[in-house]
Each structure stands twice: as C-alpha cells, then as structure tokens.
Amino acid sequence: MTDRAALFEYLLRLGDSTLILGHRVSEWCGHAPALEEDIALANTALDLIGQTQMWLGLAGEVEGAGRSADDLAMLRDVWEFRNLLLVEQPNGDYGKTILRQCLFDAFHFELLTELTHARDDRIAGIAAKALKEVTYHLDRSSETVIGLGDGTEESNARLQAALDLLWPYVGEMFAADAVDAAMHKSGIAPDLAVLRSRFDTRIDAILTEATLTKPDSAYAQSGGKTGFRHSEHLGHMLTQMQWLQRAYPGATW
C-alpha cells in the first residue's frame, strides 16, 4: 500500500464514521423524548455531517479520481465503507443512543486532539475545527450518561444494558493495522495504544460517576474500518440514506 493509498483509506475512516453516526443520530429528529433533546440531537447530527463533508472532500482530492464528498457518501455500497462498527448500530432506546454517542465522543475527542498536530496542515485544520464541536458533544453526552446512569432504577438498568451491548465494539477503535501504522509513521495519525489509555481513564471516570459497571471483557468486534465485515444494519441504513441517488441516479436540484 502506497502512502497515498493509506491516506485515502484513513480519510475514509474518519469521514465514514462521522457520516454514518450523523445519519443515525438524525433518525431521532422529531422522535426524541423531549423537545430540547430533539434539537440537541439534530445539531449533533449536523455537526457530524459537516465534518464528513470536510473529511470526504479531502479524501476525494487525495484519491485524484474526480469523486466529490457527495459521490463518496452516496455512490458507494456497504463493502466500500470504512466506518467503525459502533456507529452503525441501531439507535434503540434513548439510553442506547446516548451511550453509543458517549463512547464515540470520548474516542473522537482524543483522536482529534492528536490530529490537530498532524504534519499535514489540511488534516490538522479540519481536526481543529471539528474538535471545537466534539468538545461540546462529549460534555453533553457524558453528562447525560451520568444523569441517567445515576438516576432512577429504570434509567440505570437501561444504560447498563446498552453498555453491555455496545462495549464489544469499543476495541475496534484502537486496533491498529497497516493503514494506522503508515499514518503514524508519516506523522499524521497518533499511536492508538496511547489513545486507548486516555480513553479508558476518561470513560472509567464517567462510568463510575454514572454508577455503571464496565464489562469485564476484552473481546472486540472488528472489520468495519477495513470494510471486511459490517453488521447487517449498515446495508438497511444505506438504502434509506442513499435512496434518492438509487432511485434517480445523477439527479440534480
């Protein structure tokens, strides 16, 4: 794999994860448990889609095949996506949605913090802009997890069930492969082992305050960020997200 190919793959991972999570969160629009939450979730989704536009736009430039961010988002099928498995999991109840958000935000915050120091100025610039938004995302999701976890017996049980279900998807975020190694060697991506340590410290503190028990398991699902294996949920989601382009290829406003 050339450095250019590795960079393209890495940018897809960044853009695809924010795209898929952004769409998932947008599914709550008009359905959230409270008006304030409805607005907050919609704003989070918009932030993530905005970050996607930047990451996939840069990926298209690096690829050099004339594909735009829209092309990469709407004209690829499941096996071409490089998003983390965590973000494609269904929303479930509100507890599952906010717990999924918190796990991703904690990882995303640490990753973007390091990417602001990337040797590539374009990547550093996008990361710096996105970090401002993700700092708010993490504050909000962690506070909500703490409030629900340390709330009623019912809310605690729902958060614990969500944590037990989603925890096996955490490990993939820190599983380094050839792409991660190439990007780290080139001074772009951070050492994922260092990120894992910071993530664990942050998440452990959140879960303790939320009176939740972290699953005692090192098992990790994998395959999403390599495109090797996605859950069945991604294909169903893409049929909705890409419906207009699938029904009317090349349609313009």
Average pLDDT over residues 127-132: 98
Return the CATH fold of 3-247: Ferritin (1.20.1260)
Average pLDDT over residues 121-135: 98
Number of neighbours of residue 135 by Cβ within 10 angstroms: 15
- Domain range list for the chain: 3-247
Helix ranges, the chain (H): 3-26, 35-63, 69-74, 85-88, 94-115, 121-149, 153-166, 178-185, 192-209, 232-241, 243-247
* pLDDT for residue 253 is more than 90: no
Task: Provide the sign of the torsion angle of the four alpha carbons 30, 35, 37, 42, taken in this order.
Answer: positive
* pLDDT for residue 118 is more than 80: yes
Average pLDDT over residues 207-219: 95
pLDDT value of position 251: 84
Q: Mind listing the pLDDT tens digit for each residue in 165-205?
A: 999 999 999 999 999 999 999 999 999 999 999 999 999 99
pLDDT band at 1 (very low <50, low <70, confident <90, very high): low
CA distance 125 to 180: 20
Q: Mind listing the pLDDT tens digit for each residue in 76-111?
A: 999 999 999 999 999 999 999 999 999 999 999 999
Average pLDDT over residues 140-144: 98
Closest CA to 163 of 225, 96, 233: 96
Helix (H, G, I), strand (E, B) or coil at 75: coil
Average pLDDT, the chain: 96
pLDDT value of position 218: 87
Query: Which pTM was predicted?
Result: 0.97
pLDDT band at 2 (very low <50, low <70, confident <90, very high): confident
